[in-house]
Amino acid sequence: MIPVTTARTCDAHMFHRPKPIAQELHHVVPQAWQKFWRPDTGIGLWHPETVPLCPTGHRNVHHYIVAKMQAVASKDHIRIPNNKEAQIAQLALTIWIEAGGSLMDLVRAGQWGQA
Is the pLDDT at 36 greater than 90, yes or no? yes
> Residue 44 sits in which domain range?
5-108
- Taking residues 33-54, what's their average pLDDT? 90
53: left (phi over 0), alpha (psi -120 to 50) or beta: beta
Whether residue 114 lies inside any domain: the answer is no
Whether residue 32 lies inside any domain: the answer is yes
Whether residue 66 lies inside any domain: the answer is yes
pLDDT of residue 1: 42
In angstroms, the CA 115 to CA 100 distance is: 23
pLDDT tens digits, one per residue of 57-96: 999 999 999 999 999 899 877 788 889 999 999 999 999 9
Whether residue 59 lies inside any domain: the answer is yes
pTM of the entire structure? 0.86
Supply the mean pLDDT for the chain.
88
Higher pLDDT, 10 or 5: 10
Whether residue 115 lies inside any domain: the answer is no
Whether residue 87 lies inside any domain: the answer is yes
In angstroms, the CA 37 to CA 27 distance is: 15
Whether residue 14 lies inside any domain: the answer is yes
CA–CA distances in Å: residue 2 to residues 5, 22, 25, 105, 115: 9, 12, 11, 28, 11
Q: Give me the number of domains the chain comprises.
A: 1
